[in-house]
Structure 1
């Protein structure tokens, strides 16, 4: 990471923006307003902004539908039958994979359930699952119901990893030690890649290696990591992963998910899964015959045909990612988040009102900073929102702020610093 002597001045922020090679990408997005003013939008960790190009991408498919009808499946530019292929190169670049290891499909929680069919096969001896304590609720519900589906007791199966007393973060050595302690009873490590509450980016490579060493699978929910943190899923030998596209990938509320399945499972028709006709051998699909034959790679986990309109909105953002490049986005992210961290620490000082609980090491976080509010509670969040800052509140006492490199600026961060300075006087 480039060392910068940050300054709490407007001139500094404007100079950083002037030197930012990605500054033009801000103009590719639409910003909401708060109280009649353009928002300081630090909520890409929850819902990314709308690319201006989405309308034209959707319009193209609506025109294809209008003009071609059912023939749009096999005729016209980007025929729908194969349209999922268009998103694969960008997805592969973003998550560090081969194109046959990824596919856009379904929604995140649905994909977790489908992947568990293949990668959670409990036996009498090997049945435990490791997850971080306080995982996102959907993940907790998924694990709970999957365990019950197998006739097991979640309290006896799910091992929740908690930080040490007085700490907010999990230590990698503690995660690995628990994996080794569970040993041959462990079937699966199924954690977030980046923890939604604390903003901690886990060492997925080390966790995966530890899981494999005891004979377990390793899979990750990348909802808060994809499009945010550097990922090398293939190189790290992660078994499977899934994510949503509506946070940092800016594809629209509730939009299509994606999965990664490592290539060592690419041609494993013996691996249990819930089949559907879009996962069936493409060359034989319209023979309409019995006998499920899974496609090569991640495509073999598809169930239903592609949601074309959802994928069109997704593609609008993926094309922007391809143009920007993950390496450049990561470089800016480290600088931008570092500036936010600097201002918070400089302005809040020893006030005791807030505390950053996200790791200080840039390699252990994305662009999100989670602020533990010690005084003022949600009133602090409401005060910031009234001044135009869109972050999000997470019970019981955390505000999450995510300066997103595709569309946020150093001036955004500086403007937040001014609001923070005034609000601290109010809550001192």
Structure 2
């Protein structure tokens, strides 16, 4: 039996394909760990790279990270059933969906550990995957300068040292779309009024950054790290993305062209939960795991238009009044979201216990706070109140605002006030 494993290359999924063969008699029973062992030989990675990379089964409709002991062929053969359970795809669309086995970053690999990596081959694979996530708007840097930093590092990797004779504005503006997202270089209103090519100014700034980075003559491993360092500061880095919708309250539908719901991508990683507008690629709200309580509620009935829900409750402020916000995300993938959050919280608790034990062994007593990975994320999560108000007013988080609720109020009680039925409550305060 032969399996085909797709690897990210030059920011594209499937840019490199690795055939892996197994004896026919063991083919159907091949486990993920066996496949990874063979793939690592092809990409020149040590066996312990299994902590960094994992095998995924992906398609445009669904993405699943496989467990080490799962049988690969079993997952592939059940793909149609998985699509029916976790997506809203029609029967015709599901039948045309072909899953790919891909080598991707392990979503549970700590970012703190990744920052310490020095192995060039591992960094190269992470770099190509990060490129893909940048171009598909999964990773959206906050600063404009970040885009130029990314493009400069990529230019050094792709083109080598800056050459003023070859790398001119006239020539490089023709390939600038390969280094920036279309949204970044799209024409502004001022450009349209004076018939100005927006690529020119972007290219000029890009080439200045390219020349500056090139002058450092960094080795390839440092260029990979330079690119990844920008990505590491993006809140959704290493997140698993799920598809869902949030409801629009009736009182706001008229102001939003009668839109009844808003498509979102729910990005979940070890640092927090992030709601991203599906069409605008904007982060609507982002909070750390210890700033939110959550609950999963299965669909009440079976049916094409029946969805499970993920409830998110957090503190915020609305019109100057402190209150609780409740966001209900409708999704066939709500169960997967619940499992992902639970796993991240469990890992955070285990890490806290490990650190606490080390402190006790060293004679240090007291509670050991979980460290947020970097200051950018602290600042990002610190803006939760402002973002909560933005979401409530601009993107319609179901219009549920509960002034005066006591801090210990449980999710079920809050949902009852909103006329919703929610079963149970789970707190992620770790």
TM-score by length of 2: 0.27
Higher relative contact order (CA closer than 8 Å, sequence separation 6+): 1
TM-score by length of 1: 0.27
| Higher Rg of the two aligned structures | 2
